[in-house]
Amino acid sequence: MSITNFTVEEINLIDIYSKPNPPRRTATKTETIARITEAYEYMDESMKEIAISAAMKISRLSEQEFDSMIFTPAE
């Protein structure tokens, strides 16, 4: 899977949830999925659909594939 398989909305969401607090490095695939799923309850239905889709796509990646991707938010 490549970065082009993710929508702009998914990339923006992944960028937000892959930044650990405090900032140190990019979160791992597992950490990112956990952060996204923990936030489901605070999302409206349309955002939740995007988050579920993004988490499913991330789960299909290996850690190495995820680490090699750069999720830069759209301006």
Domain spans in the chain, listed from the N-terminal domain onward? 3-68
Q: Grade residue 2 by pLDDT with cuts at 50, 70 and 90.
A: low
pLDDT of residue 72: 85
Q: Grade residue 24 by pLDDT with cuts at 50, 70 and 90.
A: low
Stretch 46-62: mean pLDDT: 96
39: tokens are 């936030």
Stretch 18-33: mean pLDDT: 79
Distances (CA, A) of 39 to 1, 55, 60, 68: 25, 12, 20, 24
What's at 46, amino acid-wise?
Answer: S
3-68 CATH choice from 1.20.140.10, 1.10.3720.10, 1.10.10.1850, 1.10.287.610: 1.10.10.1850
DSSP assignment, residue 20? -
E strands within 1-75?
A: none
Could you give the percent of the chain with pLDDT greater than 90? 67
What's at 71, amino acid-wise?
Answer: F
